[in-house]
Structure 1
Amino acid sequence: MTSVPVPRLRAAVVGLLATAAALGAGQLAAGLAAARTSPFVAVGNAAIDLTPGPVKEFAIALFGTADKTALLTGMGIVIAALAVAAGLLSRWHWWPGAAVIGVFGLVGVIATVSRPGGGLVAPLTSLVVGVVVFRWLHHVAGMAAIGPGTSTVEVDADRRRFLVTSTLVVLGAGAAGIAGGFLQRGAGVTASQAAVAARIPKVPPLPIPPGADFVASGTPTFLTANRDFYRIDTALVVPQLRAEDWRLRLHGMVRRELVLTFDDLIQRGLQNRLITLTCVSNEVGGDLISTAEFVGVPVRDLLLEAGVLPGAQQLFTTSVDSYTAGTPLDVLLEPDRGALLAVGMNGEPLPAEHGFPVRMVVPGLYGYVSATKWLVDAEVTTFDRAPYWEQRGWAQQAPIKTESRIDRPRAQASVPAGPVTVAGIAWAQHTGIDRVEVRADGGPWQPAELATDVSRDTWRMWRATIDLPPGEHVVECRATDRTGQPQTPQRQPVVPDGATGWHSVGFSCTG
């Protein structure tokens, strides 16, 4: 107990710095112990797992691929507020604030040990350091408080001591956090990617015919650069797994269990595929769709090698961070499906954020049932076992729906009256697009010009010219796949198996 209360600002600083020290120590301990997650990230991942599905969908719709940045920022704000509260609760006594930090530390312990590869070292270190530093800073702050009989010289000396102590804590917490982050990110992953680039047998890129996109008219490029490829997953921080350490166990309802190293995998022979991936969270007109050339080993070949037993229904895949997905076996065993365990993307090893060293890609299925990143386990089983998203109310089967999108003009744009170019993309993966039509202001539909067809597993660009007078206009588009099935106009949300509806864009013409 202090003889006089610690000033409010100083008490708040004590709480903030003790919490920063706890987080930095936890990060460093996780790096030194080669743990897969720090306490801070473990709490964030637990929050993701516990968040109701509609809230997650709202976050994706609001923040898009920046949803994880938003979550981390929100966590930081909440933690800072709790830290300030811990400090303010301890103006007279040190133990209330230490208790708050201790409780939060216990939350970190529970969250970390519940994650694969988490362990106890990092969260316990974080808890102990947080409480000890809080007690220490509170003592120093109390010494600097002005009380009866305290001389000005003593107060100035104690304030300098608090300033120096606080500065040391800031520097120590920052250094620990940076060092721990470096150890967890691992220069080894970057080196592993470079080694993979040299070891992967060169597979000639697939030719993309002229006229595969209408970039000049406003469509995306046919291939999406790796840095621009959409990313939606449950990993708060990108898992770091070296190819040299990678193992895949293919087991369950098979005649012969396989355990593969990275070299075992690539020695089976690589194939490449041009594939458009689509996220089930993609709203009508959304941008959670991208196309790349993937290089990998056919999943079907591995399943045939293992020998699937009668009665098996799905391949239950698990990521290194414990995410799970269930892919129907009848799809994976189709001779012409082209599902891959991918090791390369657009002529490079997989980027870490897209699943390095190995991920799965399956044409024609939404990613949540088919595109497990950082893949480490594959079990042949029945549909009785529910994967991550199915447990949260999403559909068991998830074929991609026929959809189309207008990319030009943009919503609320202003364009000259007269001939207006409308352009966009359409997709019906593993079926292919037969035609796209557009109309303005509810008028008659007119056919759009289609870009050169590349593959039924990729998107197809389109464009049309519509003569429009000055004023406000709304343009709609619809696609028809190669079976003759038109895109439905019925609006459906993304849950449980993907959004539907015609995309429309409102804009004005000036003349």
Structure 2
Amino acid sequence: MIRRTSAAAGTGLLAAAAGVAVAELLATAVRPQAAPLVAVGGAVVDGAPTPVKEWAVRTLGTYDKPLLLGGIAVAVIVLAALTGVAARRRPTLGLLGPAVLGIAGAAAALSRPDARPADALPALAGAAVAAALLRWLPLPGLPAAPGAAPDPVGVGRAASGADASGAGASGADASGADAAGSGAAGSDPTGAGAVRSRRRAATRRAVLRNSALVAVGTALAGAGTVALRRLNLADATRARDAVRLPAPASPARPLPAGVGPGFRTPTADFYRVDTALTVPRLDVDAWRLRLHGMVERPVELTFADLLDRGLIERDVTLSCVSNEVGGPYVGTTRWLGAPLAPLLRAAGIRAGADQLVARSDEGMTIGTPIATLLDGRDAMLAVGMDGAPLPFAHGFPVRMLTPGLYGYAGACKWVTELEVTTFDAFDAYWVRRGWAREAPVKTASRIDRPAPFARLPAGPVTVAGVAWAQHRGIAAVEVSVDDGPWRTAELLPTASSDTWVQWRFAWSAPAGPHRLRVRATDGTGAPQPEDRRPPFPDGATGHHTVAVTVR
């Protein structure tokens, strides 16, 4: 019994693997956004409550996406195994598993913001393949297929794990006949035992052949998917490598003397927080940006058009609203892009418009106050990062960047559309989930050295870190030891008010356990809030503290 149940579960897994492989191959060949696993994952991300998302970002970091996809794969495996077992007991039940997976995949694909009706086809095709294998193809652990040739002695059903009772001999009779046929030559004048043995062997060969064919077909479909994805990646990489960014019409000022090491974050280390389970790789030649809505003159730009608008180059610190106090989701680099304000003014913003909604290729929407974009800050449509075209993971070919706002309110990646509208008319993705409509970056500071729980020798110790309040700048940083008086730290030179400031503090460390705390004051004279608050709904506040032991 256990053996037959295990065989049936394995059959369910094999059928599901074949269905998923076909669905992924079809989606990869036609429209990768419609791949069922990614579509279901995207629907899970969209439907997850905000506290769950915050926990995932805080606890799992950049591993949240692969772990989510892995969890979905485990769920599919469990459902597939149960489907195989159910199909062994009652063949019609075997259709439920593929139906559930197909409907879930199709619904998820159609729920995506950029969905097309045809996006349901890969999931439905995969479900049809899995259902057909379970229903009509003899596989290990399942009953004989409907419409199979009559089998009066039940050899096919017995070989496949079903009860051999019915027309002809019962299971016990068949067993006895086998024994008689094998133990007494000439006692079976009709040769029924030999016929049963041949049929059983033929059925087993057919089952093994079918299983092998399905496994090979699944492997080929999987290999085809991998090959197509590698080909698509190679094509996209070649297209990105061929991009030649022009020199900026307004270059960034050289960094002042005295800037410390690590002022700019290497591109490979720059944080990434978004909802895209797979990184979009857009065709730069086919890319278009549409500016429309409450404007007098709608605009559509190609990538070449954007490069011709006269680019600006700026050092800017970008931070994520999900960053906890002292967290890693902040970085500084040199950006290159087309200034956004002249483009908006040229389009002619109509009276009453107060929000610019940026839409990405994968459906994300980000709303930014128009007044912020027009107040003189260097908001841009960025095309370059640290002297090179944007990496795919950071928005290639174009992303939006708004100094002084958290990323969710002004830094849309893979942007393809800008709509001028009002806050009353439209709530962007994160606003619909309870985050604030307007999100200026809060003043923050962080201790980077020494590390938490470090063991230090007694004597001179340099405490160092960064502080930021983009577009307002940092006027002062102070350090407190063991809740003692605040003492002023040294500020190193910085590029502008749109970047973080490096700071350091000379501490004569006595032996024993100690608690270091830091706070900053922004360029307007406002001190960093002391009350500890989580990131939701408009950014974390509080003083970063580090515990160390001095020996």
Q: Same fold (TM over 0.5)?
A: yes
Cα offset, 1:191, TM superposition:
2.1
Quick one: structure 1 residues 138 and 351, their matched pair in 2 at CA, closer, same or farther if it must change by over 3 Å? farther
In the alignment, the residues of structure 2 paired with residue 317 and residue 324 of structure 1 have an alpha-carbon distance, to the nearest angstrom, of: 6
Aligned residues: 497
2:147 corresponds to: none
1:356 corresponds to: 396
Match of 1:61 among 43, 58, 81: 58
Which letter does structure 2 place at the counterpart of 1:353? A
Moved more, 32-41 or 221-230: 32-41
Q: Is the 8 A contact 1:14 1:138 kept in 2?
A: no
Secondary structure at the aligned position of 2:453 is classed as coil
Match of 2:93 among 88, 93, 96: 96
1:423 aligns with 2:423: no
1:238 aligns with 2:286: no
Secondary structure at the aligned position of 2:321 is classed as coil
In the alignment, the residues of structure 2 paired with residue 87 and residue 324 of structure 1 have an alpha-carbon distance, to the nearest angstrom, of: 41
1:377 aligns with 2:425: no
Quick one: structure 1 residues 430 and 159, their matched pair in 2 at CA, closer, same or farther if it must change by over 3 Å? same
In the alignment, the residues of structure 1 paired with residue 480 and residue 137 of structure 2 have an alpha-carbon distance, to the nearest angstrom, of: 69
In the alignment, the residues of structure 2 paired with residue 263 and residue 500 of structure 1 have an alpha-carbon distance, to the nearest angstrom, of: 42
In the alignment, the residues of structure 1 paired with residue 128 and residue 493 of structure 2 have an alpha-carbon distance, to the nearest angstrom, of: 63
1:301 aligns with 2:348: no
Match of 1:210 among 257, 261, 272: 257
Aligned residue runs from structure 1 range 64-83, under 5 A: 64-83=61-80
1:113 aligns with 2:161: no
User: TM-score, normalised to structure 1's length?
Assistant: 0.92
1:318 aligns with 2:359: yes
In the alignment, the residues of structure 2 paired with residue 377 and residue 255 of structure 1 have an alpha-carbon distance, to the nearest angstrom, of: 16
2:190 corresponds to: none
In the alignment, the residues of structure 1 paired with residue 334 and residue 493 of structure 2 have an alpha-carbon distance, to the nearest angstrom, of: 17
Q: Is the 8 A contact 1:5 1:91 kept in 2?
A: no
1:175 aligns with 2:223: yes
2:378 corresponds to: 338
Q: Is the 8 A contact 1:5 1:145 kept in 2?
A: no
1:503 aligns with 2:544: yes
1:187 corresponds to: 234
In the alignment, the residues of structure 1 paired with residue 27 and residue 201 of structure 2 have an alpha-carbon distance, to the nearest angstrom, of: 43
CA deviation profile, 1:242-267 (whole Å, cap 9, x unmatched): 11111111111111111111111111
1:273 aligns with 2:270: no
1:218 corresponds to: none
CA deviation profile, 1:40-94 (whole Å, cap 9, x unmatched): 1111111111111111111111111222122112212222222222222223233
Moved more, 462-471 or 260-269: 462-471
2:151 corresponds to: none
Moved more, 147-156 or 8-17: 147-156
User: TM-score, normalised to structure 2's length?
Assistant: 0.86
Secondary structure at the aligned position of 1:292 is classed as strand
Aligned residue runs from structure 1 range 460-475, under 5 A: 460-475=501-516
Q: Which consecutive unaligned segments of at least 5 residues does structure 1 have?
A: 216-220
Moved more, 14-23 or 259-268: 14-23
Match of 1:459 among 500, 507, 527: 500
Secondary structure at the aligned position of 2:285 is classed as helix
Match of 2:28 among 31, 34, 57: 31
Superposed CA RMSD in Å reads 2.1
Secondary structure at the aligned position of 1:422 is classed as strand
In the alignment, the residues of structure 1 paired with residue 23 and residue 201 of structure 2 have an alpha-carbon distance, to the nearest angstrom, of: 38
CA deviation profile, 1:323-343 (whole Å, cap 9, x unmatched): 1011001110112x0001011
In the alignment, the residues of structure 1 paired with residue 208 and residue 127 of structure 2 have an alpha-carbon distance, to the nearest angstrom, of: 28
Which letter does structure 2 place at the counterpart of 1:188? D
In the alignment, the residues of structure 1 paired with residue 208 and residue 131 of structure 2 have an alpha-carbon distance, to the nearest angstrom, of: 23
Which letter does structure 2 place at the counterpart of 1:380? V
Cα offset, 1:154, TM superposition:
5.7
Q: Is the 8 A contact 1:435 1:450 kept in 2?
A: yes
Cα offset, 1:153, TM superposition:
5.0
Cα offset, 1:155, TM superposition:
7.6
1:125 corresponds to: 125
2:192 corresponds to: none
In the alignment, the residues of structure 1 paired with residue 239 and residue 342 of structure 2 have an alpha-carbon distance, to the nearest angstrom, of: 26
Which letter does structure 2 place at the counterpart of 1:120? A
Q: Is the 8 A contact 1:141 1:162 kept in 2?
A: no
1:201 aligns with 2:260: no
Secondary structure at the aligned position of 2:532 is classed as coil
**Whose RCO is larger (CA < 8 A, sep 6+)?**
1
Cα offset, 1:187, TM superposition:
3.0
In the alignment, the residues of structure 1 paired with residue 224 and residue 99 of structure 2 have an alpha-carbon distance, to the nearest angstrom, of: 20
Q: Is the 8 A contact 1:11 1:138 kept in 2?
A: no
2:146 corresponds to: none
In the alignment, the residues of structure 2 paired with residue 451 and residue 86 of structure 1 have an alpha-carbon distance, to the nearest angstrom, of: 64
In the alignment, the residues of structure 2 paired with residue 6 and residue 176 of structure 1 have an alpha-carbon distance, to the nearest angstrom, of: 33
Q: Is the 8 A contact 2:449 2:464 kept in 1?
A: yes
Which letter does structure 1 place at the counterpart of 2:462? T
Secondary structure at the aligned position of 2:89 is classed as coil
Q: Is the 8 A contact 1:35 1:117 kept in 2?
A: no
Quick one: structure 1 residues 395 and 168, their matched pair in 2 at CA, closer, same or farther if it must change by over 3 Å? same
Q: Which consecutive unaligned segments of at least 5 residues does structure 2 have?
A: 143-155, 165-170, 175-195
